[in-house]
Chains A and B, each alone.
Chain A
Amino acid sequence: MGFILRRLFFYLAAFMVAVVINFMLPRLMPGDPVTAMLGGRGAMMTYDQIEALRQTFGFVDGPLIQQFFSYVSSVFQGDLGTSVQSFPETVSTILGRAFGWTLFLTGAGTLLAFIVGSLLGILAAWNRGGWFDSIVSPLSLILQATPQLVFGLLFMFVFGVTLQWLPSGYAFSPELTPEFSWLFISDVAAHAILPVFTVFIVQLGGFLIPMRNNMINLLNEDYITMGKAKGLSQLRVMLNYGARNAVLPSVTSLSMALGMVIGGAMVVEVIFNYPGLGTVLYNAILARDYQLIQGQLLVMTLFMLFFNFMADILYLFLDPRLKHGGSA
């Protein structure tokens, strides 16, 4: 229990640091969002109007410390300000709408990459130097080194445009309304295949190679030999004795990857016009929607920390040595 509390405290501190940075960055820049938004357009506005807008966007007057506390209190109330681009929608509303899609898209792709990558890595290590290892391992490195952009465009062109097997954009067909029906769910699934597969294929090597290497190191451990000597089936030795130990570092990679892709699937989302956080961020950057960018960064930080915390908890179950504070 002490372990979880300690970690929780650490993540809270890390989050506060992120909040401070998030608060300071725009204030370190010359001008403010209102000037940035209106300055280039030659708009005619009175001082009062500008002041009203500044207040709407959270740039209250007063000393920095007062501004900070006002910012922190609104962050903890879930108020991330108002979007400039799609005024008067709040940042929370926009992010909330997009968040589900991103979690679905990148979560599915990353989890799939973790599961398939780990299994292939286990097999490659078990048959080290065999034909399977010699084909799969270098191939996964090539896949990993290829940018998402290439696969995204390739899949869209081949399967979406040329063969027309799968829809090439959006999360669901525009003529459908979101509802809990087979029609809608299968439509969403069909739209998700290409982007999910793109996320999957790019991350595959990132899980396969470390798993393979961990496993190869572990296969020399005495408990593996003892597992074999015990007359257990190959599968049992491979999974319960080998993989069960080799997977520990991969859990950390998984949590990092999940945290990263919340913001990092931008390329895939933009290619497939997927209405997730990546597309939101992309449009926000194009429109210089500072409030939205800021909010998005904060959400990304939050999720990075959240998934790390999840990994810590998962570790407790996977590695008994942590729970009992053992030294071995």
Chain B
Amino acid sequence: MSQQSALLQVNNLCVDYITDAGDVRAVSDVSFEIAPGEVFGLAGESGCGKSTVAFSISRLHKPPAFISEGEVLFDGKDVLAFSDQELQAFRWAQCSMVFQSAMNSLNPVLRVEEQFCDVLMAHEDISRAQAISRAKELLNIVDIHPDRLRDYPHQFSGGMRQRLVIAITLALKPKLIVMDEPTTALDVVVQREILQKIYQLKEQFGFSILFITHDLSLMVEFCDRIGIMYAGELVEVAPAKSIFKQPLHPYTYGLGQSFPPMLGPKKRLEGIPGHPLNLLEVPEGCRFQSRCEFKHARCERVATSLKELQHQHWAACHRHDSALAPITAEEVSLCKQQ
């Protein structure tokens, strides 16, 4: 699934955590790519490895986590092979990041001005005065009055702080912005406002976005393509429009059923039975087998891998080995009765 034009290519990425209970592979053999200007979404339940994948792109893991295998190619350059200096220059200038709790990602004891200037001056050969005027422009872009540059983070509201962080991510005009649940801590009204802002900025500056969330309705609306992760593996990748309409992996189907539809009659929501996989006890074969309605003998023996089953639609499930068959509600209820 490689394209010459891809901005970011992640190939067979594995991230391990060394724990006292044993080594845990938090991200296992994950491959995907993001084209210039594309919004790629990563979804999955808590602990499935979404953020761990996101951290890999700028190599932000701290021990005991480390990237054990794979490749991260950014504009064709191997990020994992960068020296410390190359990595420092690459970070933020090429790929910036909005963190899970952007509310807490501003340093509480430094003025906002300082947090713009340090990153601008670390990467570009400009004077402090120039950096400040750049920072003022950036504040204008996110609709915050430039006079507030001299304030401290605690003097801003949650939504404003989030916009500050977004302004900082834009500072060096990166090609990719990783957004790790950028709106989780905000109420829905502010959430909407922030997303619209992000979308508008994306149109204006043309950067790509790796968008991570567990809010699927938000994701379908916002992303071009979506990848679904389960227990450290990417189990399905497809265009946003088709992934929940014609899911090919039972887990994707289950996720889609876990959210109430906006239109149509009320119905009882179906969750996914069972618990997330304990990564210390990875079974032989498919990782989703214990929670799957369609499990058969092959699932217990042979591990799954992503295959392009339809145009641009990839899934890792043995169900489609013989014939392609999107999952439907009738089929699931039939399986349950058996």
Report A's interface with B, CB cutoff 8 A.
129, 219, 221-223, 225-233, 236, 240-241, 244-245, 318-321, 324, 326-328
Q: Which of A223, A225, A230, A321 has the most chain B CB within a 10 Å cutoff?
A: A230
Contacts of B152 in A (CB 8 A): 320-321, 324, 326
Let me know if B60 and A230 touch, CB within 8 A: no
Min C-beta distance of B43 to chain A, whole Å: 21
Let me know if B109 and A319 touch, CB within 8 A: yes
- Is B106 part of the contact surface with A, judged by Cβ < 8 Å? yes
Let me know if B154 and A320 touch, CB within 8 A: yes
How far, in angstroms, from A241 to B92 measured CA to CA in the complex?
17
| Partner of A324 from B89, B91, B154 at Cβ < 8 Å | B154
How far, in angstroms, from A318 to B152 measured CA to CA in the complex?
12
Task: Specify the main secondary structure of chain A where it touches its partner.
Answer: helix
- The 9 A-B residue pairs with the shortest CB-CB distance, nearest first, are A231-B91, A328-B154, A326-B154, A222-B105, A320-B152, A230-B119, A226-B105, A223-B107, A231-B92
- Which residues between 86 and 131 of chain B lie within 8 Å of chain A, taking CB atoms? 87-93, 96-97, 99-102, 104-111, 118-119, 122-123
Contacts of B58 in A (CB 8 A): 229
- Is B155 part of the contact surface with A, judged by Cβ < 8 Å? yes
Given A229-B97, A318-B109, A223:B154 Cβ within 8 A: no
Min C-beta distance of A165 to chain B, whole Å: 43
Contacts of B88 in A (CB 8 A): 231-233
How far, in angstroms, from A227 to B119 measured CA to CA in the complex?
9
Let me know if B118 and A230 touch, CB within 8 A: yes
Min C-beta distance of A322 to chain B, whole Å: 10
Min C-beta distance of B177 to chain A, whole Å: 11
Let me know if A221 and B104 touch, CB within 8 A: yes
Min C-beta distance of B222 to chain A, whole Å: 22
| Partner of B89 from A228, A231, A236 at Cβ < 8 Å | A231
> Can you give 20 contacting A-B residue pairs, CB < 8 Å?
A223-B107, A225-B105, A226-B165, A227-B107, A231-B87, A231-B89, A231-B123, A233-B88, A236-B118, A241-B107, A241-B110, A244-B109, A245-B108, A245-B109, A320-B152, A324-B154, A326-B152, A328-B108, A328-B153, A328-B154
Let me know if B122 and A231 touch, CB within 8 A: yes
Contacts of B91 in A (CB 8 A): 228-231
Contacts A221-B104, A328-B108 supplied; 19 other A-B pairs, CB < 8 Å: A222-B104, A223-B107, A223-B108, A225-B99, A226-B99, A226-B165, A229-B91, A230-B122, A230-B168, A231-B87, A231-B88, A231-B89, A231-B91, A241-B110, A319-B109, A320-B109, A320-B111, A324-B155, A328-B153
| Partner of B107 from A231, A240, A318 at Cβ < 8 Å | A240
Contacts of A328 in B (CB 8 A): 108, 153-154
- Which residues between 155 and 190 of chain B lie within 8 Å of chain A, taking CB atoms? 155, 165, 168
Contacts of A228 in B (CB 8 A): 60, 91
Min C-beta distance of B149 to chain A, whole Å: 14
Residue of A at shortest CB range from B89? A231
Contacts of A245 in B (CB 8 A): 107-109
Residue of A at shortest CB range from B165? A226
Given A223-B104, A223-B106, A326-B155, A233:B122 Cβ within 8 A: yes
Let me know if A327 and B154 touch, CB within 8 A: yes
Let me know if B100 and A222 touch, CB within 8 A: yes
Contacts of B110 in A (CB 8 A): 240-241, 244
How far, in angstroms, from A226 to B100 measured CA to CA in the complex?
11
| Partner of A321 from B60, B154, B168 at Cβ < 8 Å | B154
Chain B interfacial residues counted at CB < 8 A: 35
How far, in angstroms, from A223 to B102 measured CA to CA in the complex?
9
| Partner of A222 from B93, B99, B154 at Cβ < 8 Å | B99
Contacts of A240 in B (CB 8 A): 107, 110, 118
Contacts of B89 in A (CB 8 A): 231
Contacts of B60 in A (CB 8 A): 225, 228-229
Residue of A at shortest CB range from B152? A320
How far, in angstroms, from A83 to B101 measured CA to CA in the complex?
64
How far, in angstroms, from A241 to B119 measured CA to CA in the complex?
13
Contacts of A319 in B (CB 8 A): 108-109
Min C-beta distance of B181 to chain A, whole Å: 11
Q: Which of A223, A226, A245, A320 has the most chain B CB within a 10 Å cutoff?
A: A226
Min C-beta distance of A57 to chain B, whole Å: 52
Min C-beta distance of B105 to chain A, whole Å: 4
How far, in angstroms, from A327 to B110 measured CA to CA in the complex?
16
Min C-beta distance of A318 to chain B, whole Å: 7
Min C-beta distance of A225 to chain B, whole Å: 6
| Partner of B96 from A222, A229, A236, A321 at Cβ < 8 Å | A229
Let me know if A231 and B155 touch, CB within 8 A: no
Residue of A at shortest CB range from B123? A231
How far, in angstroms, from A240 to B118 measured CA to CA in the complex?
10
| Partner of B122 from A222, A226, A236, A327 at Cβ < 8 Å | A236
How far, in angstroms, from A241 to B118 measured CA to CA in the complex?
11
Q: Which of B93, B107, B111 has the most chain A CB within a 10 Å cutoff?
A: B107
Residue of B at shortest CB range from A225? B60
How far, in angstroms, from A81 to B107 measured CA to CA in the complex?
53
Residue of B at shortest CB range from A219? B62
Residue of A at shortest CB range from B102? A222
Contacts of A327 in B (CB 8 A): 154
Q: Which of B96, B100, B108 has the most chain A CB within a 10 Å cutoff?
A: B108
| Partner of A232 from B102, B109, B122, B165 at Cβ < 8 Å | B122
How far, in angstroms, from A327 to B157 measured CA to CA in the complex?
11
Contacts of B165 in A (CB 8 A): 226
